[in-house]
Structure 1
Amino acid sequence: MVQNDSTLHKKYLLLQQKLKDKNYTDALGEGLILLESAQKKNEQKMVILLTYFLGEVFEKTDNNIDAMKYYKKSYAEILKSRSKFNSTDQYLKSSFNDVSLAERLIKIGGLFHKLEKKDSAKVFYNKIINLESLNKEIEAIQAKAYSNLSFIFQVDNNFSSAEEYSLKAIDIHRKYNNSTSLASAHINLGNIYVLKGEYEEAKKIYNKGLKYIKYDKGERATKFKEDLYYNLAYALYMLKDYKAYEYQELSYSIKDSVREENNKTKLAAILAKYDVNVAKRMVQQEEALKREKVINQKQKAQRNTWILGISSFFVIVLLVFLLNQYKLRQKNLGLELSKQELMQQQKMEKIKAESQIRILNATLDGKESERKQIAETLHDSVSALLSSANLHLQACKKQFNGTTPIEVDKSQSIINEASQKIRDLSHTLVSSILLKFGLSYAIKDISEKFSNSQLRIDYETRYIKRYDQGFEIKLYNIIQEFVNNILKHSKASYAKITLVEKKNRLHLIIEDDGQGFDKTQIPKKDGLGINQIDARIQMMQGKFNIDTGKGKGTVITIELPVFEKEAVTFS
């Protein structure tokens, strides 16, 4: 067997660079072509490499089903090649050892885990664990498999198995002195003890995990520190240790610094994405070039006219014929110029409309993100500070032998009132019920909150689960806006909210028996109204329709593709 085709190998290295540069479209298209070429040439090594590469591209673009298909192909090709080994196949044998198998098995198991197919994930994780030829690389992958199995058993409340696998992962990381992975594994182990209610043991484990990354300032270590401080704060809180608030503040300070860096990156991306002026200048330049071309054609036609004029002295009949041809050409050129101008004007209007939609959605996204951030700050930081102050006052009261001063009681009363107002304001900005329990409970909360003696709001939700948080917030805001419109304008006595998931799409119906309205007047309304909701739904790749008229009530239907909540795995 030839070792490999050098041309294919060079192209494969260029594809790797495109994947590194996040140029996923070119990487996918060229990768599929290169795979077909490798299969025709029977280049088995390149087929194994390219199928794994395509799995990576699909995984990076959140296409988990296709990613799994190509990872499985790569895994199957390795098994096929290993079954045919002979004395002349040492090159292929050395290229794809148990490390390559383990890399593909952890990818397949991880994707099953993301897709919430736990039994299938367990099968592939156990295949990794059962690999016999051990070395540092394989054991590192086995540690990931142990951690992920531990997480699956935690979810199933099988704490003994969860602890067993977590400890096996820790043993491997300790063997190779991998401090960052040891910290991650101790988060997993500490969480098991928290779930069991053994907070003192969880406290010891979290503190041990912090020691491993005390001086590490890398990105992964920073994230693990935030999680360790937060989880340690919770364990101390359950132990009624006042140091809980100190560790909670450390966690929040890390979270805020990371969030600030992320916000800077997102702002730069938004500015680049919605630079309308750049797009407008490009269209104007294109229009100028086309006009210049038409003018040049016109000038050329005029030169031809002079030639024909001179020729007319010699052939009168030819002059008449050519003169008529010239007039016809001039007319066509004028029509072509008018057509070009109309097309450019239509293109400009289309770009302007699309840009306005994108800018509007970017603005709404920014507002929702800002409201969520303010709500989190009020709930997580300000409420924590008020709770801390209340605890200190409670401790202070114990220092008095006898009657507590009235000022202390009044201070506690004020703090309690402030805490309640903070919670109410946080819920107003972003529904805490939505964040904690999802759309079904949030819709139930809306219907119960706004129903009264004059208006009854019913609701119905079927097959609704948790989705991507940003997607849930956008849909909740849309529902809330239409309910507000019913309360303000419809004069209805009955309304109903229906939300159903069918074939990976959400179907929302909001109807009322009110006075309805004239749809032709919609463009004249301002504020976060129907036009802006329509723009938002377009950006979410959904469908939107309003059936209404004066005196006939209103039925609003919305259909949206589901944005799945990404499953979390420990690694």
Structure 2
Amino acid sequence: MNDSHHTDQPLFKGIADAVPGMLYIIELTGMKMVYANQKVLDLFGRTLEELSAMGPSLFDHVVYPPDRTRFDAHIVELLTSPVGHVAELSFRLLNHKGEPTWLRTRRTIFQWDNEGNPTHVISVSQDISAEIQLQEVNERIALERKRLKEEKELEVIRAVLSKQEEERDRIAESLHNGLGQLLYGAKLGLLALEPEPEQAFREKKTYALELLDESIIQTRRISHQLMPIVLNDFGLKAAIEDTYRKMNTDVNFSLQMTAGKKIAPQYIELAVFRIVQELVLNVGKHAAAKNCQIKVDIAEKHVNIHVSDDGKGMTNAQHSDGVGLRAIRDKVSLLKGQMDIYSQPGDTAISINIPYRSSPN
């Protein structure tokens, strides 16, 4: 075929120059450009003769290197496609200034030789650089909005957990300095009495002392639950162990903890402790279990909590409506974590995953 057979015709040239984009024809045998409208020539700052003379090296010069693999795959797809197939590709070409320009190109084979082999490809391209830039701006805006939303949610989490701890500290201090001291003083007052040796009085005194002893024990227990002093002084593992060791229960607790990182920020560590503490208390109070295994794995960017027991199990209603579990589920949700529950008689397991920022130990 004569490459200029159609392209020299005034009608073709008029249509090609009127196309709202770039139009060019590649002759496949020599991989050279045999026609290009003015918009293509303006993009590369060269004449058609110069572009044609470059032959196959043209694409080495003008295809943006990071897009070359996709460009070559696109050409292979086109050459092996059925008659009438139109292949589309968005990629970058280097303009006459060496700057990448985004194009959306549609190509099709429009001529074959006598043996049915494709000989000429016609391409129509549109400059979509402005569209891509707008898309990138929108993506940056979306990412910034997501970041601001996450920061705001994080502030809410901090505020909620901080308020809870402030309230716990206030109650603990009030119990310790108020009720606890008052009960202890009452006990000392009773011990100082020198009653006449009357059996009834002695029995009342003994009963009153027993009540006061129990009140003091309960006050200390509540204070311990409200103020995680061990957590602050000795760390998460010691605080969890301290929780179940001070429980009045026959459950045999065991703790396995792996920590390659230190949980950060600190309120996440406090939240993890509160969650494990609540799970341990639930097992001790309600599970009727003989054994309970606690596993805490502090990985690179998340904490895995797994608490299992061999108790009586939970009903579906307890899964959803139990006050303790609901409080844990709310806290896990606030922390963007995930909670799964499996329960049947003799085998109950609760698994929790909480993301966090890690810092070197």
**Same-fold status (TM-score > 0.5):** no
Which structure is higher in RCO with an 8 Å CA cutoff and minimum separation 6?
2
Determine which structure has more spread, i.e. the larger CA radius of gyration: 2
Structure 2 length normalisation: TM-score?
Answer: 0.41
Greater strand content = 2
